[in-house]
Amino acid sequence: MDKFIIHGGRKLKGTVEIGGSKNAALPILMATLLTDEPCIINRVPDLRDIRTTIKILQELGKKVEYDAGTLTVKAGRKLKTEVPYDLVKQMRASFWVAGPLLARFKKAVIPLPGGCAIGVRPVDIHLKGFEKMGAKVLVQNGNVILKTRKLNPAKIILSFPSVGATQNLMMCACLVKGRTVLENVAREPEVSDLIKALKSMGAEITQDAKGRIIIEGKSELGGMEHTVAADRIQTGTYIIAGAVTRGDVTVKDCIPEDNEILLDYLKEAGFDLQVGEDWIRIKPKCKKIKPVNIKTAPFPGFATDLQAPFMTLMCLCGGQSEISEDIFENRFMHAPELVRMGANITIERNTAKITGVKNFSPAVVMSSDLRGGAALVLAGLCAKGVSEVERIYHIDRGYEHFEDNLTKLGAKIKRVNPVTQ
C-alpha cells in the first residue's frame, strides 16, 4: 500500500496549475448514460474515482476512451440496469447512475454506495425525489431497487440542499416529459457545470430568481462536448498549503470566485492575497497566523471539503479557534492524527476547538478519508523532520499528481510502496 514520505520544514514557492474538478466531472460522466450519442468531455482529471467511473460505464455497456485528459464515451453493447457491488463500494458517487438509468429504462438496481468513512450520508433525499416522480423504491439485500411503468414530472422540495440529490434528480428529469421543479437545491459550482453539460446535450434547464431548477423534460438527448470546470477544492488546498508553510504560492487556471469565502478567511488570518481573473497568489503578511472561527455550510458557505486542510492551518494559529462541521458527521477523523503530530485539538460533538501550537512534530500518521489525508500531508510539509502518511489511496481519489505538484513548489515528498521496496 503506497504512502508518502515527507521531509518537512520547507516553504513552498512557485506556481501550480489546477486541473478539472473531480466533483464536477463525475456526474457529467454519469450523464452520458442519458444518450447513445457520442460524448466528448475535456479536462477530465486522472484520478482513482474517475477510473472507477470509467469501469462502471464500461460494465453498464458503454465504450470509453480516455487519453490526455479527454474522455470519449460512445454506445457499445446494450446497456445494463444493474451495477455490481465491487465497483459501487469504491465510490459514493456511483449512485448517480440511478437517475439516468431510471429515466431511460424505468428500472435500476444500485448497491448502497461506499466511499470515504466520514459518516452515513444517506441517499434518502435521492430516493424521496424518485418516489415523487413515480418510482417505487425497495431496499433489499443491500441494493436499492428502483422501478416504474412511467415517470411523471413533479415539484420536488429537497429536505437539504444535497449536491448529489440535486444532480441525480436533475439528470433523471431531463428525460421525463413535462415540467419538473426542484426547490431547496444545491448551488455549488459543480451543479452549474452539470447544467452546462446537460444543456449542451439538448436539455432545457433554467434557474429562476428563487434558485429553483426548472427542467422541461424531453424524449431524448443528444451527445455533447464539454470542458470540465476548474477544481475549487484543489485550488483551496494548494492555497492553504502555501499558507501553512508560510510560502509564496500562485494557483493558475482556477476560478477565484468559487473560493471567495476561503480567501476572506485567509485574509482574516493575516495572509496577503492577490487575485486575478483566473489566478490567486498567497504569501505571509505577518509573523503570527490569526485564529479564525469557521462553520461549514452549503455553497456559497465554507466548503466541507476544505474543512480538514483549514484545520491544519488553524493548528498553527496564535490563539484559539473553532471549526464547526454541519454537513457530515464523523468528519473530524483526521484530528487525532494531527494531535499525534503535536496539534492541540479537542472535539465536542460537531465542533473542533483548536489551540495553536508553534509547529507540528514529524510522525507516522494514517489517512482515513480524502480531505483528511490532504490535511495530514500539509501538516507533514510544516513539520521539521520526516513524516509518513499512510493509506494515501484515499488522497488519490481527489488530487491529481499531488506529490508532483507539491514537489514543483519545493516540497520534498516521495511516494513509496513498502511491498515493492
Say how far apart CA 290 and CA 343 lie, in whole Å.
16
| H or E element that contains 16 | strand 13-17
Is there a contact between 11 and 246 (Cβ–Cβ < 8 Å)?
yes
> How many alpha carbons fall within 13 Å on the CB side of residue 294?
30
How many Cβ atoms are within 10 Å of 246's Cβ, its own excluded?
15
The three cell numbers locating residue 192: 452549474
**Per annotation, catalytic residue among 116, 174, 254, 315:** 116
Q: Which three cell numbers stand for residue 326?
A: 454541519
Grid coordinates given for 158: 429537497
Active site residue 172: no
Q: How many helices (H) and strands (E) does the chain have?
A: 13, 23
Unique residue bearing C-alpha cell 455553497: 299
Instruction: Give the cell for residue 193.
Output: 457545470
Give how far Cα 183 sits from Cα of 35, 124, 166, 313, 369, Å: 26, 16, 9, 36, 31
> Can you read off the three cell numbers belonging to residue 332?
473530524
| Residue linked to cell 474543512 | 307
Closest to 18 measured CA to CA, from 321, 397, 400: 400
Using the structure block, give the residue that is written with the C-alpha cell 414530472: 153
Active site residues: 116
